[in-house]
Amino acid sequence: MPSYCDISQIDSGKLTALNSGSWVVGDSGITDDDAACYASYQLGSARSKLDASLSDIYQPDNSKSATFDSNYQTTMLTGIVWAALGTTVLYYAFTKI
């Protein structure tokens, strides 16, 4: 995740306070640097999710929905081929006997 600092360096007590959302800089030992690092981490993770969603929109050939659609179409086509083969085998079995 793009961030200008490493969130793992923030103390777990401070990180809990930051996650709760009810913190003030200077409260619970939270410094401006800790708050800025946490904000950068949150923005980076939100941006990663947004980028993944946009790639699905702008590159439909590589998206999950395109993969599922391709698998569905392959399954349906395989079923049609098997039905045609089975019908042909039954036709020749009953006409030649």
Kindly give the confidence (pLDDT) of every residue in the chain, 97 residues in length, as a single tens digit, with 9 standing for 90 and above.
455 677 776 766 666 666 666 666 666 667 777 777 878 888 888 998 999 888 878 877 777 788 888 999 999 999 999 999 999 999 999 998 7
Q: Identify the pLDDT of residue 73.
A: 95
Structure token pair of residue 48: 């990663």
Q: What is the 3-state secondary structure (H, E, C) of 23-47?
A: CCCCHHHCCHHHHHHHHHHHHHHHH
Q: Identify the pLDDT of residue 25.
A: 60
Q: Identify the pLDDT of residue 82.
A: 97
Answering whether pTM is above 0.85, one says no
Q: How far apart are CA 84 and CA 30, in angstroms?
A: 71
Q: How far apart are CA 69 and CA 8, in angstroms?
A: 40
